[in-house]
Amino acid sequence: MLMQLTLSGASQGAIYALVALSLTVVYRSTTVVNFGHGDLVMSGAFVAYVLVVGLGLAFLPAAVIAVVAMFGLGVCFSRALIRPIRGGPHIGFALMSIALGYTLRGIARTVWGREVLPMPRVFDIDPIFLGDVVLTGDALFTIATVAVLLALFFALLAFTDVGKMVQAVYQSERGARLVGINVSRFHDLSWGTGAALGAVGGILIAPVSFLHPDLGASFLIKGFAAMTLGGFGSLGGAVLGGVVLGLAEQYAGAYIDTALIDITAYLLIILVLLVRPRGLFGRKAVVKV
Amino acid sequence: MSISPATLRLRTALFWALPVLACALPLATNPYTQFVLNSMLISTLLTLGFNMVIGSLGQLAFANVAFFGLGAYASVIAMNALGLPWLATIPLSGLVGAAGGFLASAVALRGIRLYYLAIVTLAFGELLRWLYIHADGLTGGTDGLALPRETFLGFRLGDDTAQFYVFLAVTVVLVKGTLNLLRSRLGRSIIAVRENEIATASLGIPTARVIVTAFMWSGFLVGVAGALFAAHIGRVFPESFGLTQLIVGFAMVLVGGTGSVLGSVLGAVLLTALPEYVRAFPGMEEIFFGLVVIVVLLCLPQGLASLLRRLSPVFLERHFRE
């Protein structure tokens, strides 16, 4: 029982971790919290769905195309809509990202109405039984994909020049500009990366759950909850927070009450706020006057 | 920029002429337009409340949607459980909203600001919605709660025309109240906190009290809007208070003009009327609101009120630095 819950919690948590990580990538590099992120996740899943069901592509090429498309969308959004209001107040960014998400949701609804779409099963391998634990293909694939992606991502940050550049911009934007890093382009690419990573999360969830245009809102809140728990702006913290949230949902649902699954994320946000507002790995914000 | 006495008189005349003229509107409407007119008045209160925190105080509080729902549920539950007449529940809902605002300001005063405040209040709002669904003994769950039928001074409560006059009176009083608040010392302090909180505090202005006031007044307005909304629809559902309300409210604030009372009214009226034309297609409304916000942010960040201000000093609001 416990093992089974841990497995399903981990595969949910892996997806939350991706969503939280992609939110953090955008936040750390551009200081914009993307309130439309859930809808980007939803859009990625929808693009993959259309390619698979509408055009009859195989799952993997469809997924790759969807991720690339979402990367492009993220870059375009950053260039066309965020850059012009860069100098303005923070509320402008929030509104802009909400507006983007809302528009995407509207487009999805125009095309699909309010129906709920089942994605064809991808990993129709027979479940593996280990003692009394059932390993489904979906769960294994999700956990493996996210693990590989995260390993690549953090390796990129730790061992390459790209990672050095990212660190430089995180440390000081002005300093990074002075040593010749094109910070504006870096912002665009961060948006693209965030959108693409989020899309991967959406594509992974698609075969397991039903797709509908309002999918985004819950992903957004789960991503926020994971970020809050891990500490706002901490990349590793976002991943850990996501996994913890996934596990917490399953345990709370099984051992306390199934209705709790829906609100674990909200309770977690409020709890972290009351106990330790900066989360597990967040740094205390210092206000300079 | 100083305003001549003649301009001031004209402005006062305009302010009072509008509601007086509006009193004649029900003579020329059919039930549908009457319904939309009533929606406009509710949206005006909502937008005023949103604008208080987003525009005047410059904080991102998403909880206002939650207070809207709280106000609506408080109104219906008070009618059902306590047998209060609907009119009496209006101030009650306002107080419930204000209490919510107080709570949100307590969070803001813990140093949780901007995005973080937005996330926390978002979670709080969704938590409430979950409660509406699951506390079905009190709230009727997903089916919602119907209002009891009552008559007041010979009007049936569900009569849109009768409701219109009540809504109009409430809205005019609260718009005037908001204007007065923003012109008072306290209201100026709200703007000052938005511009620079530390500088404001160093002038000896009690910034905490200012923040609490802004949040509570915002909550009060939104709570009252909730009570009106309950009567307007005749039934309260958890779905009515989801995140959709949020973007609608934001769009109204933005299109009208952040921090502007006149803007709140303009934005609410316009954005209640326009979507009626696209309602026939699923998804069109979302696209409409999304694109409106994007275009206004890019082209007219100060909203429609700023256009009017450029046209004539009559529309110059005194809490604006021009």
Residue B125, amino acid: G
Domain count, chain A: 1
- Tell which of A79, A83, A98 to mutate to test the B interface (max B CBs under 10 Å): A98
CB contact under 8 A, B118 and A100: no
Q: Which residues of B179-202 are buried (b: 16+ CB within 10 A; e: fewer)?
A: bebbeeebbbbbbbbbeebeebee
Question: What residue numbers bound the domain in which A191 lies?
Answer: 2-213
Q: Which residues of A111-122 are buried (b: 16+ CB within 10 A; e: fewer)?
A: ebeeeeeebeeb
Least-confidence region, from A16-30, A270-284, B119-133: A270-284
Between positions 213 and 272 of A, the ones with CB within 8 A of B are 213, 217, 221, 224-225, 228, 232, 259, 262-263, 265-267, 269-270
Over residues B24-43, mean pLDDT:
82
pLDDT at B8: 76
CB contact under 8 A, B282 and A109: yes
- pTM: predicted TM-score of the whole model, two decimal places: 0.86
pLDDT at A196: 93
Alpha-carbon Rg for chain A, nearest whole angstrom, is: 19
pLDDT at A58: 82
Distance from CA of A207 to the nearest CA of B (A): 24
pLDDT at A285: 57
Predicted confidence (pLDDT) per residue in A167-214, tens digit = 888 888 888 888 888 888 888 989 999 999 999 988 888 777 778 888
CB contact under 8 A, B123 and A266: yes
What average pLDDT does chain A have?
84
| For residue B1, pLDDT beyond 60 | no
Distance from CA of A159 to the nearest CA of B (A): 32
Across B131-140, B148-157, B295-304, which has the greatest mean pLDDT?
B295-304
Confidence band of B221 (pLDDT split at 50, 70, 90): very high
CB contact under 8 A, B297 and A103: no
Distance from CA of B65 to the nearest CA of A (A): 15
Over residues A127-156, mean pLDDT:
81
pLDDT at B212: 92
pLDDT at B322: 41
pLDDT at A114: 65
Predicted confidence (pLDDT) per residue in A39-48, tens digit = 999 999 888 8
CB contact under 8 A, B287 and A259: no
Whether the CB of A133 is below 8 Å from some CB of chain B: the reply is: no
Predicted confidence (pLDDT) per residue in B180-204, tens digit = 888 888 888 888 888 888 888 888 8
Predicted confidence (pLDDT) per residue in A93-130, tens digit = 888 998 999 899 888 888 876 666 776 666 666 667 77
| Residue A34 located in a structural domain | yes
Predicted confidence (pLDDT) per residue in B91-138, tens digit = 999 999 999 899 888 877 876 677 778 888 888 888 888 888 877 777
| Residue A285 located in a structural domain | no
Measured CA to CA, the distance from residue A113 to residue A212 in angstroms comes to 9
The contacts of residue B242 (CB under 8 Å, 6+ apart) are A217, B65, B129
Measured CA to CA, the distance from residue A226 to residue A231 in angstroms comes to 8
Q: Which residues of A238-268 are buried (b: 16+ CB within 10 A; e: fewer)?
A: bbbbbbbbbbbbbbbbbeeeeebbbbbbbbb
| Residue A154 located in a structural domain | yes
| Residue A96 located in a structural domain | yes
| Residue A283 located in a structural domain | no
Whether the CB of B81 is below 8 Å from some CB of chain A: the reply is: no
Measured CA to CA, the distance from residue B258 to residue B58 in angstroms comes to 9
pLDDT at A211: 80
Higher-pLDDT residue of A121 and B9 is B9
pLDDT at A74: 93
pLDDT at B29: 74
Structure tokens at B244: 């959709």
Nearest to B254 among A95, A105, A287 (CB): A95
